[in-house]
Amino acid sequence: MGSPASPSVVTAGERGPARACDRLIIALDTSSWEQALQWVDCLPQVLWWKVGLELFTAVGSPILRALKERGKRIFLDLKLHDIPNTVGRATQVAVGYGVDLLTIHASGGSAMLRAAAEAAQSSPCRLLAVTLLTSLSPEQVQQELCIGKDPANYALHLAQLAQAQGFTGLVCSPQEVARLRQIFGSDVLLVTPGIRLSPSFTGDDPTEDDQQRIWTPARALQAGADYLVVGRPVTAAPDPVIAFQQLCDAVAH
């Protein structure tokens, strides 16, 4: 599977871009084209933007073209999960948009992961295997999903499954980062959502936050994360520019 060609993208054996703030991926979590581009244009210093299922479903691939025209790096977070043939074909289409990172659900199994890896092997896009959603608590993992392993061991199992099929990137919660880094070393790219500072910083009502397994930026980076995915702490802040600068300061120290 190819690695991203740009020096701003972490490749195997590297641990981060030159600028600390380039380790932050800001999530465009909205269904509005206007709102998404308003965030992008008011934060020109942001290199990486995440386009997730909500925005991509609402506006489609034109948002990817708009980001590329602005010279941005794109994390297309679709978490593909279907039968192998479907995921393989969808991966081929997705990497054709010129995105830098694309997510695939590791829980889809080895055949599905292999189909995605084969579809992307001639592309510079790097595939990321999603281990376990950060919205799931340990109780939900055991009681609702009927998974006997605890979240950390289940995430490791899925990470190993994905690596065996050629994946060199993973999405995991901050709480699994240190263990995955220790086991896989520097050859794996670890992208970590679930980043929070404080309710007063995000402007969120903490009772409405659907993230369960969360950490601060500094703690996630110290544990071994390469990139941090941040949404509401920036986009829901009273002043996103100030919020992003505070995050930059947090990851720089």
State the catalytic residues: 79
Helix, strand or coil, per DSSP, at residue 126? strand
Cα 2 to Cα 124: distance, rounded to the nearest angstrom:
5
Q: Rounded to the nearest 10 degrees, how much is the dihedral formed by the CA atoms of 198, 128, 52, 73?
A: 90
Q: Please, is 20 exposed, middle or buried when counting C-beta atoms within 10 Å of its C-beta (0-12, 13-18, 19+)? A: middle
The residue assigned the tokens 């071994």 is 224
Cα 167 to Cα 189: distance, rounded to the nearest angstrom:
9
The residue assigned the tokens 């670890």 is 190
Q: Which segments of the chain does DSSP mark as H helices, in order? A: 33-42, 53-59, 62-69, 84-95, 110-120, 138-143, 151-164, 174-184, 199-202, 217-223, 232-235, 240-252
